[in-house]
Amino acid sequence: MRVVAYSIRSYEKELLAKANQKKHDITLISNRLSLETVSYAAGKDAILVFTNDDVSAPVIDKLADLGIKYIGTRSVGTDHIDREAAGKRGMKIANVPSYSPQAIAEHAITLALALSRKLIPTVDQSRIFDFRIENHVGFNLYGKTVGLIGLGHIGQAAAAIFKGMGCRVLGHDIDYPQNLAGVEPVTLNELLQKADIISLHLPLTSENQYLINQETLSLMKNGTMLINTARGGLVKTAEVISALESGKLGYFGTDVYEFEKGLFFSDHRSDIIKDPILFKLMSLPNVIVTPHQAFLTQEALNQIAAQTISNLDKWHQNKCVGKACACAKQCKVPSELLNP
């Protein structure tokens, strides 16, 4: 297949080439997909994108006009793709349904540990040879109640780690997994009211956008820690900032940001005007922001590359991509081509 891959980073090139084995003609470019860069897809059959790319309806229409039939995203989430628009144009969509859930889960726990032990201010202070410890009193995770919202592969991996650290683990999911040991199923309100630490592990949908808002924050204990390694749109950032400033929310660790598109994955040091909401958020001492890097482990990157090429292979063979199929209803593959 003839393919252009957008938003390619240096760490992906070798892995994609190794997985591809010259089966597909893939052009790797660092440019983010947008209305201005859609022309790079001319003459191609498929495009590969990432979470920061603009795969909105106007872009999809231009892609379809250029002859693009397939959109593969190098991510689990597909909220950056207008699936309905793609369906109307008969375009197939594939994602990476699962890759090293431990990578994301471990990053969530890393954020929680760093916040609980005040590691960032401690390291900053130590770098200037100030080794006083009076302001760095933390707390144990052992014995704390952790609430996990979303219990897919990543949520379950996080549950196992928190459980192993001696935490009581509560879980909420609209499609609660069967036979999940060590996690107490609860309603969302019960989780919000009882948890000392809340960690988000669910995809972003129109139904759960801004799940964390003034109302849900008000249900939490004073001083609760909130961790988000899922999607920025799950959190109303301005209302989280207010909760942090009032002390209602004690800590916030996030790997994603509500307005990260066009911001994360790029160097913005020279920007004269910085994103004011993010600037305010990062100025708070009880906040850690990482730039959507929870997935960034060697193991996860290898699995993403392998699944991405596998999706192209199956499309080339006129087969369904099975569990990786993220097509809208309008672009379902004929039953005779299904190959789960």
Residues 116 and 226 in one domain: yes
Helix-strand-coil percent breakdown of the chain, rounded to 5? 40, 15, 45
CA distance 69 to 46: 6
- Show the CA angle centred on residue 172, arms to residues 167 and 174, nearest 5°: 160
Residues 250 and 124 in one domain: yes
Residues 209 and 257 in one domain: yes
- The CATH number given to whatever domain includes residue 236 is 3.40.50.720
Q: What is the pLDDT of residue 12?
A: 96
Residues 165 and 188 in one domain: yes
Residues 274 and 152 in one domain: yes
Which one is catalytic: 260, 269, 299, 336?
260
Q: Does the annotation mark 231 as catalytic?
A: yes
How many C-beta neighbours within 10 Å does residue 33 have?
27
Provide the CA 2 distance to its chain's centre, in angstroms: 28
CA distance 291 to 263: 9
pLDDT in tens, 80-115: 999 999 999 999 999 999 899 999 999 999 999 999
Residue 333: give the domain boundaries: 2-99+298-337
Contact criterion met (CB below 8 Å) for 217 and 225: no
pLDDT tier, 340 (very low <50, low <70, confident <90, very high otherwise): very low
pLDDT in tens, 223-252: 999 999 999 999 999 999 999 999 999 999
Residues 95 and 122 in one domain: no
pLDDT at 338 over 80: no
Q: Does the annotation mark 2 as catalytic?
A: no
Contact criterion met (CB below 8 Å) for 50 and 78: no
CA distance 44 to 67: 7
pLDDT tier, 322 (very low <50, low <70, confident <90, very high otherwise): confident
Which one is catalytic: 32, 83, 231, 239?
231
Number of structural domains (the chain) is 2
